[in-house]
Homo-oligomer: A and B are copies of this chain.
Amino acid sequence: MQLFEKLIDYPDAERLVLENVPRPREENLPLVDARGLVLARDLSARFDSPPFDNSAVDGYAVRSADAEAGRTFAVVDEAPAGRPSKKSVGEGEAIKIFTGGVIPTGADAVVMVENTSGWGETFDLKKFASPGQNIRDRGGDVREGDVILRSGTEIGAPEIALAATQGYGELPVYRRPKVVVLSTGTELVTPGERDLSPGEIYDSNSFATMSQAREAGAEARRLHAASDDADVLRDALREALETADVVVTSGGVSVGEKDLVKSTLLELGVDQVFWGVKFKPGKPLFFGKRDDVRFFGLPGNPVSAMVCFELFVRPALMRMMGREDRRRPHISVYFDEDVSNSFGRMHAMRVTLERTERGWRAESVGAQGSGLVSSLTKADALALIGPESEGIRAGESVEAIVLRDEILL
Protein backbone atom coordinates (compact mmCIF):
# COMPACT_ATOMS: atom_id res chain seq x y z
CA MET A 1 0.00 0.00 0.00
CA GLN A 2 1.40 3.31 -1.12
CA LEU A 3 1.15 6.23 1.27
CA PHE A 4 2.24 9.83 1.12
CA GLU A 5 6.00 9.83 1.55
CA LYS A 6 6.08 13.17 3.29
CA LEU A 7 3.42 15.80 3.81
CA ILE A 8 4.70 19.35 3.40
CA ASP A 9 3.33 22.60 4.80
CA TYR A 10 1.10 24.92 2.78
CA PRO A 11 3.65 27.76 2.49
CA ASP A 12 6.32 25.32 1.31
CA ALA A 13 3.96 23.86 -1.26
CA GLU A 14 3.08 27.33 -2.55
CA ARG A 15 6.76 28.26 -2.72
CA LEU A 16 7.66 25.05 -4.60
CA VAL A 17 4.90 25.67 -7.12
CA LEU A 18 6.01 29.24 -7.78
CA GLU A 19 9.72 28.35 -7.92
CA ASN A 20 8.94 25.75 -10.55
CA VAL A 21 6.80 27.92 -12.78
CA PRO A 22 8.35 28.17 -16.26
CA ARG A 23 9.23 31.59 -17.64
CA PRO A 24 6.39 33.59 -19.18
CA ARG A 25 6.43 33.24 -22.97
CA GLU A 26 5.96 36.14 -25.33
CA GLU A 27 3.66 36.41 -28.28
CA ASN A 28 2.33 39.24 -30.44
CA LEU A 29 -1.42 39.68 -30.30
CA PRO A 30 -3.75 42.01 -32.18
CA LEU A 31 -4.46 45.09 -30.06
CA VAL A 32 -7.86 44.22 -28.69
CA ASP A 33 -6.90 40.59 -27.98
CA ALA A 34 -4.09 41.82 -25.75
CA ARG A 35 -6.62 43.16 -23.25
CA GLY A 36 -6.09 41.71 -19.78
CA LEU A 37 -2.59 40.48 -20.57
CA VAL A 38 0.76 41.85 -19.47
CA LEU A 39 3.07 43.76 -21.80
CA ALA A 40 6.29 41.81 -22.35
CA ARG A 41 8.48 44.71 -23.58
CA ASP A 42 8.68 48.45 -23.24
CA LEU A 43 6.76 50.20 -25.99
CA SER A 44 8.20 53.43 -27.41
CA ALA A 45 6.62 56.25 -29.34
CA ARG A 46 7.47 56.00 -33.04
CA PHE A 47 6.64 59.64 -33.69
CA ASP A 48 5.36 62.74 -31.95
CA SER A 49 1.73 62.44 -31.02
CA PRO A 50 -0.34 64.19 -32.12
CA PRO A 51 1.81 64.04 -35.28
CA PHE A 52 1.01 67.65 -36.26
CA ASP A 53 -0.46 70.81 -34.74
CA ASN A 54 -4.21 70.38 -35.05
CA SER A 55 -7.48 71.95 -34.09
CA ALA A 56 -9.29 70.97 -30.90
CA VAL A 57 -12.60 72.42 -32.17
CA ASP A 58 -14.68 73.20 -35.24
CA GLY A 59 -14.13 76.81 -36.34
CA TYR A 60 -11.64 79.01 -38.18
CA ALA A 61 -7.85 79.05 -38.12
CA VAL A 62 -6.65 82.66 -37.89
CA ARG A 63 -3.67 84.81 -36.97
CA SER A 64 -4.16 85.74 -33.34
CA ALA A 65 -2.63 89.18 -34.00
CA ASP A 66 -5.70 89.96 -36.19
CA ALA A 67 -8.23 88.37 -33.95
CA GLU A 68 -10.01 91.24 -32.32
CA ALA A 69 -13.66 91.02 -31.47
CA GLY A 70 -15.82 92.60 -34.18
CA ARG A 71 -13.40 92.11 -37.02
CA THR A 72 -14.58 90.52 -40.27
CA PHE A 73 -12.53 87.74 -41.84
CA ALA A 74 -12.38 86.33 -45.36
CA VAL A 75 -12.50 82.53 -45.53
CA VAL A 76 -9.93 81.41 -48.10
CA ASP A 77 -10.02 77.58 -47.82
CA GLU A 78 -11.03 74.72 -45.58
CA ALA A 79 -9.06 72.09 -43.64
CA PRO A 80 -11.19 69.16 -42.54
CA ALA A 81 -9.52 66.37 -40.56
CA GLY A 82 -7.34 64.31 -42.89
CA ARG A 83 -7.26 66.95 -45.66
CA PRO A 84 -4.72 69.65 -44.84
CA SER A 85 -5.12 72.98 -46.66
CA LYS A 86 -2.25 73.93 -48.92
CA LYS A 87 -2.96 77.63 -48.48
CA SER A 88 -1.57 79.83 -45.77
CA VAL A 89 -3.47 82.32 -43.65
CA GLY A 90 -2.69 85.96 -44.31
CA GLU A 91 -3.79 89.08 -42.49
CA GLY A 92 -7.59 89.22 -42.12
CA GLU A 93 -7.90 85.76 -43.60
CA ALA A 94 -9.17 82.53 -42.10
CA ILE A 95 -9.31 78.86 -43.07
CA LYS A 96 -12.35 76.88 -42.07
CA ILE A 97 -11.13 73.97 -39.88
CA PHE A 98 -12.61 70.99 -38.11
CA THR A 99 -11.58 69.08 -35.03
CA GLY A 100 -8.35 67.24 -35.82
CA GLY A 101 -7.63 69.34 -38.91
CA VAL A 102 -4.02 70.40 -39.55
CA ILE A 103 -3.31 73.99 -38.52
CA PRO A 104 -2.48 75.82 -41.75
CA THR A 105 0.70 77.83 -42.26
CA GLY A 106 0.36 81.35 -40.93
CA ALA A 107 -2.36 80.57 -38.40
CA ASP A 108 -1.58 80.40 -34.68
CA ALA A 109 -5.08 80.17 -33.20
CA VAL A 110 -8.47 78.64 -33.88
CA VAL A 111 -11.70 80.44 -33.05
CA MET A 112 -14.71 78.25 -32.31
CA VAL A 113 -17.58 78.67 -34.73
CA GLU A 114 -19.77 79.41 -31.72
CA ASN A 115 -17.71 82.59 -31.18
CA THR A 116 -18.32 83.83 -34.73
CA SER A 117 -21.29 84.87 -36.82
CA GLY A 118 -21.27 81.32 -38.25
CA TRP A 119 -20.21 79.39 -41.34
CA GLY A 120 -19.82 81.36 -44.52
CA GLU A 121 -17.44 82.98 -46.98
CA THR A 122 -16.84 85.68 -44.44
CA PHE A 123 -17.59 85.90 -40.73
CA ASP A 124 -17.47 88.35 -37.88
CA LEU A 125 -15.50 87.47 -34.77
CA LYS A 126 -17.38 87.87 -31.48
CA LYS A 127 -14.52 87.17 -29.11
CA PHE A 128 -10.78 87.81 -29.40
CA ALA A 129 -8.39 84.87 -29.77
CA SER A 130 -5.07 84.41 -28.01
CA PRO A 131 -1.97 82.71 -29.51
CA GLY A 132 -2.19 78.91 -29.43
CA GLN A 133 -5.89 78.93 -28.60
CA ASN A 134 -7.70 75.67 -29.42
CA ILE A 135 -4.53 74.24 -30.93
CA ARG A 136 -3.23 70.86 -29.87
CA ASP A 137 0.52 70.94 -30.26
CA ARG A 138 2.44 68.30 -32.16
CA GLY A 139 4.00 66.01 -29.54
CA GLY A 140 1.74 67.38 -26.82
CA ASP A 141 0.68 63.89 -25.79
CA VAL A 142 3.89 61.90 -26.34
CA ARG A 143 7.27 62.58 -27.95
CA GLU A 144 9.04 60.34 -30.43
CA GLY A 145 11.26 57.87 -28.53
CA ASP A 146 9.41 58.22 -25.20
CA VAL A 147 8.60 54.93 -23.50
CA ILE A 148 4.83 55.09 -23.58
CA LEU A 149 4.11 51.76 -21.88
CA ARG A 150 6.44 49.82 -19.62
CA SER A 151 7.02 46.10 -19.77
CA GLY A 152 4.91 44.56 -17.01
CA THR A 153 1.93 46.87 -17.54
CA GLU A 154 -1.44 45.17 -17.63
CA ILE A 155 -3.17 46.06 -20.90
CA GLY A 156 -6.55 47.75 -20.57
CA ALA A 157 -8.53 50.05 -22.82
CA PRO A 158 -6.37 53.16 -22.12
CA GLU A 159 -3.18 51.26 -22.97
CA ILE A 160 -4.77 49.92 -26.17
CA ALA A 161 -5.83 53.43 -27.13
CA LEU A 162 -2.36 54.81 -26.52
CA ALA A 163 -0.65 52.03 -28.50
CA ALA A 164 -3.15 52.56 -31.32
CA THR A 165 -2.32 56.27 -31.60
CA GLN A 166 1.24 55.15 -32.29
CA GLY A 167 0.16 52.79 -35.03
CA TYR A 168 0.82 49.55 -33.16
CA GLY A 169 -1.50 46.93 -34.60
CA GLU A 170 -0.17 44.23 -32.28
CA LEU A 171 1.30 44.15 -28.82
CA PRO A 172 4.02 41.90 -27.38
CA VAL A 173 2.45 40.20 -24.36
CA TYR A 174 2.94 37.18 -22.16
CA ARG A 175 0.72 34.57 -23.65
CA ARG A 176 -2.14 32.74 -21.96
CA PRO A 177 -1.04 29.31 -20.71
CA LYS A 178 -2.88 26.41 -22.33
CA VAL A 179 -4.53 24.34 -19.64
CA VAL A 180 -5.79 20.85 -20.37
CA VAL A 181 -8.25 19.59 -17.80
CA LEU A 182 -8.36 15.81 -17.68
CA SER A 183 -11.52 14.33 -16.33
CA THR A 184 -10.99 10.82 -15.00
CA GLY A 185 -13.27 8.46 -13.10
CA THR A 186 -15.61 5.78 -14.40
CA GLU A 187 -18.40 7.14 -12.19
CA LEU A 188 -18.44 10.45 -14.05
CA VAL A 189 -21.11 11.45 -16.58
CA THR A 190 -20.84 14.67 -18.58
CA PRO A 191 -23.59 17.11 -17.47
CA GLY A 192 -26.36 17.40 -20.04
CA GLU A 193 -25.38 14.16 -21.75
CA ARG A 194 -27.73 11.63 -20.16
CA ASP A 195 -29.37 10.57 -16.91
CA LEU A 196 -27.36 8.92 -14.18
CA SER A 197 -27.21 5.18 -13.67
CA PRO A 198 -26.84 3.86 -10.13
CA GLY A 199 -23.52 4.81 -8.58
CA GLU A 200 -22.79 7.50 -11.16
CA ILE A 201 -22.47 11.23 -10.60
CA TYR A 202 -22.11 14.16 -12.95
CA ASP A 203 -18.61 15.46 -13.57
CA SER A 204 -18.41 18.86 -11.93
CA ASN A 205 -14.70 19.14 -11.22
CA SER A 206 -13.49 19.53 -14.76
CA PHE A 207 -16.04 22.28 -15.46
CA ALA A 208 -15.08 24.08 -12.27
CA THR A 209 -11.40 23.76 -13.13
CA MET A 210 -11.92 25.07 -16.66
CA SER A 211 -13.84 28.03 -15.27
CA GLN A 212 -11.17 28.77 -12.70
CA ALA A 213 -8.44 28.51 -15.32
CA ARG A 214 -10.26 30.93 -17.64
CA GLU A 215 -10.96 33.29 -14.78
CA ALA A 216 -7.21 33.35 -14.12
CA GLY A 217 -6.73 34.31 -17.78
CA ALA A 218 -5.63 30.95 -19.19
CA GLU A 219 -7.05 29.01 -22.11
CA ALA A 220 -8.65 25.77 -21.01
CA ARG A 221 -10.05 22.69 -22.65
CA ARG A 222 -11.30 19.38 -21.29
CA LEU A 223 -10.32 15.82 -22.10
CA HIS A 224 -12.41 12.96 -20.76
CA ALA A 225 -10.91 9.54 -20.08
CA ALA A 226 -12.01 6.73 -17.79
CA SER A 227 -9.35 6.32 -15.13
CA ASP A 228 -9.54 2.56 -14.71
CA ASP A 229 -8.52 1.61 -18.22
CA ALA A 230 -4.76 1.96 -18.06
CA ASP A 231 -4.27 2.31 -21.83
CA VAL A 232 -6.99 4.90 -22.30
CA LEU A 233 -5.66 6.85 -19.37
CA ARG A 234 -2.06 6.70 -20.58
CA ASP A 235 -3.05 7.93 -24.05
CA ALA A 236 -5.07 10.80 -22.60
CA LEU A 237 -2.30 11.84 -20.23
CA ARG A 238 0.22 11.68 -23.05
CA GLU A 239 -1.95 13.86 -25.27
CA ALA A 240 -2.44 16.32 -22.41
CA LEU A 241 1.29 16.51 -21.69
CA GLU A 242 2.08 17.05 -25.36
CA THR A 243 -0.41 19.85 -25.98
CA ALA A 244 -0.63 21.74 -22.69
CA ASP A 245 1.45 24.12 -20.66
CA VAL A 246 -0.38 23.00 -17.56
CA VAL A 247 -2.27 19.73 -17.08
CA VAL A 248 -4.82 19.52 -14.29
CA THR A 249 -6.57 16.35 -13.19
CA SER A 250 -8.79 15.75 -10.23
CA GLY A 251 -8.99 12.50 -8.38
CA GLY A 252 -6.69 9.60 -9.07
CA VAL A 253 -4.00 10.93 -6.76
CA SER A 254 -5.19 9.40 -3.53
CA VAL A 255 -3.87 6.17 -2.03
CA GLY A 256 -6.46 3.77 -3.43
CA GLU A 257 -5.55 0.83 -5.63
CA LYS A 258 -7.65 2.25 -8.42
CA ASP A 259 -5.53 5.38 -8.57
CA LEU A 260 -3.65 4.79 -11.73
CA VAL A 261 -3.08 8.43 -12.59
CA LYS A 262 -0.04 8.91 -10.45
CA SER A 263 1.75 5.73 -11.52
CA THR A 264 0.98 6.47 -15.18
CA LEU A 265 2.38 9.96 -14.78
CA LEU A 266 5.65 8.70 -13.37
CA GLU A 267 5.79 6.21 -16.24
CA LEU A 268 5.35 9.08 -18.71
CA GLY A 269 8.34 10.88 -17.25
CA VAL A 270 6.62 13.39 -15.00
CA ASP A 271 8.89 14.21 -12.06
CA GLN A 272 7.18 14.55 -8.72
CA VAL A 273 7.92 17.86 -6.99
CA PHE A 274 5.64 17.08 -4.08
CA TRP A 275 2.70 14.88 -3.20
CA GLY A 276 0.70 15.62 -0.08
CA VAL A 277 0.19 18.94 1.70
CA LYS A 278 -0.59 19.43 5.38
CA PHE A 279 -3.71 21.22 4.51
CA LYS A 280 -7.48 20.69 4.55
CA PRO A 281 -9.27 20.39 2.22
CA GLY A 282 -6.69 19.05 -0.16
CA LYS A 283 -4.15 16.76 1.43
CA PRO A 284 -3.47 14.52 -1.60
CA LEU A 285 -2.43 17.36 -3.93
CA PHE A 286 0.22 16.24 -6.42
CA PHE A 287 2.56 18.61 -8.27
CA GLY A 288 5.01 17.50 -10.92
CA LYS A 289 6.76 18.62 -14.08
CA ARG A 290 8.03 17.31 -17.37
CA ASP A 291 10.21 19.75 -19.30
CA ASP A 292 8.18 22.96 -19.53
CA VAL A 293 4.86 21.31 -18.69
CA ARG A 294 3.49 21.48 -15.16
CA PHE A 295 1.13 18.90 -13.77
CA PHE A 296 -1.34 19.41 -10.94
CA GLY A 297 -3.19 16.41 -9.60
CA LEU A 298 -6.01 17.89 -7.60
CA PRO A 299 -7.95 15.86 -5.05
CA GLY A 300 -11.20 14.32 -6.28
CA ASN A 301 -13.54 15.96 -3.80
CA PRO A 302 -15.08 18.98 -5.48
CA VAL A 303 -14.39 21.46 -2.72
CA SER A 304 -10.83 20.21 -2.27
CA ALA A 305 -10.23 20.50 -5.98
CA MET A 306 -11.52 24.08 -6.18
CA VAL A 307 -9.67 25.24 -3.09
CA CYS A 308 -6.41 23.66 -4.25
CA PHE A 309 -6.84 25.39 -7.61
CA GLU A 310 -7.26 28.77 -5.91
CA LEU A 311 -4.26 28.29 -3.65
CA PHE A 312 -1.78 26.62 -5.98
CA VAL A 313 -2.77 26.57 -9.65
CA ARG A 314 -4.07 30.13 -9.96
CA PRO A 315 -0.85 31.76 -8.65
CA ALA A 316 1.15 29.58 -11.03
CA LEU A 317 -0.96 30.58 -14.04
CA MET A 318 -0.73 34.24 -13.03
CA ARG A 319 3.03 34.07 -12.81
CA MET A 320 3.20 32.35 -16.21
CA MET A 321 1.42 35.42 -17.58
CA GLY A 322 3.85 37.82 -15.91
CA ARG A 323 1.36 38.86 -13.27
CA GLU A 324 3.55 38.73 -10.18
CA ASP A 325 1.20 40.54 -7.83
CA ARG A 326 -2.02 38.93 -8.79
CA ARG A 327 -2.68 36.57 -5.93
CA ARG A 328 -6.16 36.84 -4.51
CA PRO A 329 -6.33 39.65 -1.94
CA HIS A 330 -5.26 38.55 1.53
CA ILE A 331 -6.92 40.30 4.48
CA SER A 332 -7.10 40.02 8.23
CA VAL A 333 -10.36 38.65 9.66
CA TYR A 334 -11.73 37.69 13.07
CA PHE A 335 -14.49 35.37 14.27
CA ASP A 336 -17.11 36.08 16.93
CA GLU A 337 -16.58 32.62 18.38
CA ASP A 338 -13.68 30.29 19.06
CA VAL A 339 -12.86 28.18 16.02
CA SER A 340 -11.35 24.76 16.53
CA ASN A 341 -9.02 22.93 14.19
CA SER A 342 -8.55 19.30 15.17
CA PHE A 343 -7.20 18.19 11.82
CA GLY A 344 -3.52 18.51 12.63
CA ARG A 345 -3.03 20.56 9.45
CA MET A 346 -3.97 23.98 8.20
CA HIS A 347 -7.69 24.39 7.54
CA ALA A 348 -8.73 26.69 4.70
CA MET A 349 -12.21 27.31 6.05
CA ARG A 350 -15.00 28.57 3.79
CA VAL A 351 -16.40 31.73 5.36
CA THR A 352 -18.68 34.63 4.64
CA LEU A 353 -17.33 38.12 5.37
CA GLU A 354 -18.98 41.13 6.89
CA ARG A 355 -17.38 44.55 7.31
CA THR A 356 -17.73 45.75 10.92
CA GLU A 357 -16.22 48.57 12.95
CA ARG A 358 -13.56 46.15 14.18
CA GLY A 359 -12.63 45.03 10.68
CA TRP A 360 -13.73 42.00 8.69
CA ARG A 361 -15.82 39.49 10.61
CA ALA A 362 -15.72 35.96 9.24
CA GLU A 363 -18.31 33.29 9.79
CA SER A 364 -18.23 29.66 8.64
CA VAL A 365 -20.59 28.96 5.75
CA GLY A 366 -21.75 25.94 7.79
CA ALA A 367 -20.72 22.33 7.29
CA GLN A 368 -17.23 22.16 5.80
CA GLY A 369 -17.43 18.70 4.20
CA SER A 370 -15.31 18.55 1.07
CA GLY A 371 -18.19 17.16 -0.97
CA LEU A 372 -20.46 20.13 -0.27
CA VAL A 373 -20.31 21.99 -3.55
CA SER A 374 -23.09 24.35 -2.53
CA SER A 375 -20.93 25.66 0.32
CA LEU A 376 -18.52 27.26 -2.15
CA THR A 377 -21.28 29.28 -3.76
CA LYS A 378 -21.81 30.87 -0.34
CA ALA A 379 -18.16 31.51 0.51
CA ASP A 380 -16.60 34.97 0.26
CA ALA A 381 -13.20 33.86 1.48
CA LEU A 382 -11.00 31.10 2.84
CA ALA A 383 -9.87 31.75 6.42
CA LEU A 384 -6.54 30.03 7.11
CA ILE A 385 -6.79 28.33 10.53
CA GLY A 386 -3.53 26.83 11.67
CA PRO A 387 -1.23 25.20 10.73
CA GLU A 388 0.14 24.47 14.18
CA SER A 389 -2.68 25.84 16.31
CA GLU A 390 -5.55 23.74 17.51
CA GLY A 391 -7.79 26.62 16.54
CA ILE A 392 -8.17 30.31 17.25
CA ARG A 393 -9.96 32.36 19.88
CA ALA A 394 -12.89 34.66 19.32
CA GLY A 395 -11.60 38.06 18.21
CA GLU A 396 -8.16 36.78 17.25
CA SER A 397 -6.83 37.95 13.88
CA VAL A 398 -6.31 35.39 11.18
CA GLU A 399 -5.40 35.61 7.50
CA ALA A 400 -8.04 35.05 4.85
CA ILE A 401 -7.90 34.74 1.07
CA VAL A 402 -10.73 36.68 -0.54
CA LEU A 403 -12.46 34.75 -3.33
CA ARG A 404 -14.93 37.47 -4.34
CA ASP A 405 -13.05 40.72 -4.93
CA GLU A 406 -16.24 42.72 -5.23
CA ILE A 407 -16.97 42.34 -1.53
CA LEU A 408 -13.98 44.58 -0.80
CA LEU A 409 -15.13 47.38 -3.12
Interface residues of A (CB under 8 A from B): 1, 3, 31-32, 35, 47, 49-52, 56, 58, 80-84, 98-102, 113-114, 118-119, 136, 140-142, 148-149, 153, 156-170, 185-193, 195-196, 198-205, 207-208, 210-212, 214-215, 220, 228, 251, 254-258, 300-302, 306, 329, 367, 369-374, 376-377, 379, 402, 404-405, 408-409
A215 in contact with B35 (CB, 8 Å) = yes
For A102, the chain B residues whose CB sits under 8 A away are 198-199
Q: How distant is A400 from chain B, measured CB to nearest CB, in Å?
A: 13
For A256, the chain B residues whose CB sits under 8 A away are 58, 98-99, 113
A27 to B404: give the CA distance in the assembly, Å: 25
Copies in the complex: 2
B161 in contact with A306 (CB, 8 Å) = yes
B211 in contact with A165 (CB, 8 Å) = no
Contact A192-B167, Cβ < 8 Å, known A255-B113, A369-B56: yes
A198 to B402: give the CA distance in the assembly, Å: 52
A162 in contact with B204 (CB, 8 Å) = yes
A199 to B372: give the CA distance in the assembly, Å: 64
Q: How distant is A31 from chain B, measured CB to nearest CB, in Å?
A: 5
A191 in contact with B163 (CB, 8 Å) = yes
Residue in contact with A207 in the complex, picked from B51, B149, B164, B374, CB distance below 8 Å: B164
Q: How distant is A321 from chain B, measured CB to nearest CB, in Å?
A: 15
For A207, the chain B residues whose CB sits under 8 A away are 31-32, 160-161, 164
Residue in contact with A186 in the complex, picked from B81, B149, B191, CB distance below 8 Å: B81
Q: How distant is A296 from chain B, measured CB to nearest CB, in Å?
A: 15
For A170, the chain B residues whose CB sits under 8 A away are 192
A370 to B161: give the CA distance in the assembly, Å: 13
B1 in contact with A119 (CB, 8 Å) = yes
B208 in contact with A157 (CB, 8 Å) = yes
Residue in contact with A50 in the complex, picked from B101, B190, B306, B371, CB distance below 8 Å: B371
A188 in contact with B82 (CB, 8 Å) = yes
Q: Lowest 5 A-B CB distances belong to which pairs?
A: A169-B192, A82-B187, A164-B204, A158-B376, A161-B208
A192 in contact with B168 (CB, 8 Å) = yes
Measured CB to CB, the nearest residue on chain B to A350 is B158
For A202, the chain B residues whose CB sits under 8 A away are 164-167
Measured CB to CB, the nearest residue on chain B to A202 is B167
Q: How distant is A258 from chain B, measured CB to nearest CB, in Å?
A: 5
